[in-house]
Amino acid sequence: MTFIKTISTFLITILLVTTTFGQESRHKTKILLIGTIHFENPHTDKFELKTDDFLSAKRQTELEDLTNVLSQTKATKMMIERPIENQRSSDSLYNLYLTGHYKLTVSEREQIGFRLGKKLKLNQINCVDKFYGLVHDSLMAATAKENNQLYLLKDLGTQANAMISDFDNQLKKGTITEVLKYINKPDELKRNLSIYLKFIAKIGAGKNFAGAEYVSDWYLRNLAIYANITNQINANDKYVILIFGQGHIPILKHLLQNNDDFEIVEVSSVLK
């Protein structure tokens, strides 16, 4: 009996040591989420930033400065807001760019994503977007009218337009790096997400929940993006950079913060 107890104690000790060692050596992938303005005007957002000439000499110099700083992270993957089903065509364009046979379009996906990928010597830029239409849009609007809640949409518009105007003013007076630093501040990320949670979610509450279902469309898209992100990161990736529209970042950040495989890197710690 003493011998059996000794063996049992030994095995339990080995198990505890192995488990503890595994926990201590567990690798977390650092991920830098950079919310950006759209350099082109895709006309897919209800409230859109005025376009700027990002191909001008001034902005091109700023983009070089920005990507030089970001390249110091030595990131092993670069992820952009381009549909996952477009990966093959994106790979083709990126390879042409690497060999000097493709001129970057005005899109931030290329102006930042492709440019930075080349400086990081990456073989591929990962496409992780998944577009879901806001299928409850018309029902939400009709519900707001029927329930005397149009004031919520009016207040939403006021806040959204103020935010876009603020971003416009930041862009007029600052560099691209300064704009990105500004719009990635915690208060600015919260400001964007609050438009959905403070105004839209209330519409139809207690009845058909059209507002909550509209917000769920937005969350579904971001959950799909999150799934694509996590699916394309492997154990060898020590540092990943993601460039996406600023409105996506609060939700993606929340999701990734609650996955202990990742460590969020704050924009303010990189862009100083």
Rounded to 10 degrees, the C-alpha dihedral 194/199/205/207 comes to -140
pLDDT of residue 225 exceeding 60 = yes
Chain-centroid distance of CA 264 in Å reads 12
- Percentage of residues of the chain with pLDDT beyond 70: 86
Residue corresponding to tokens 């799909």: 224
Phi, psi of 28 (to 5 degrees): -110, 135
pLDDT of residue 17 exceeding 80 = no
**Per residue in 114-151, pLDDT tens?**
999 999 999 999 999 999 888 899 999 999 999 999 99
Give the integer Cα–Cα distance in Å for 224 and 255: 11
Q: What is the mean pLDDT of residues 25-30?
A: 82
**Per residue in 28-67, pLDDT tens?**
999 999 999 999 865 445 545 566 899 999 999 999 999 9
Burial class (CB in 10 A: 0-12, 13-18, 19+), 74: exposed
